[in-house]
Amino acid sequence: ERLLKNYTALQARAQQTCAAHSELGANLSMKDFEAIVDSSEKDHYRTAIENSRNRTTFGTGFLSPANFEKILAFNCVMGAADCFLHWCLYNFCILSDGRVGMAHECREDWHFKELPSNRSYP
């Protein structure tokens, strides 16, 4: 929670995290990132199907640990690790039973803003 309210601390944590994982991003290409996104979408849809069977919880998240590390590395290379870290901290948490929680499971003030209706997609 402290990092969500202190951007300087968030940036410092992102820099520390990137330094600790610098070897992961050393040889990433755009093709690698596209493969990661494709694999992550498969993770997401698999989890969504599992979660549709139990509507009381979101379950275990939508990124495999390997894909999370690769996406983190890509964000570090692109200089966006602070944004990625903020997004993760705001949207995910560890629940009291050890599972990964998401959105309103983590914070009462979680708010999802819908995209404007005039938004076009590629």
The domain limits of the chain are 2-105
Q: How far lies 119's CA from each of 112, 113, 115, in Å?
A: 16, 13, 7
Q: What is the pLDDT of residues 35-86, one digit of tens each?
A: 776 766 565 555 554 554 454 444 445 667 777 788 888 889 888 899 888 8
Q: What is the pLDDT of residues 18-35, one digit of tens each?
A: 998 877 777 777 787 777
CB 50 within 8 A of CB 56: no
The model's pTM is: 0.65
SS3 content of the chain, % helix, strand, coil (to 5): 60, 5, 35
C-alpha span between 104 and 19 (Å, rounded): 31
C-alpha span between 76 and 84 (Å, rounded): 9
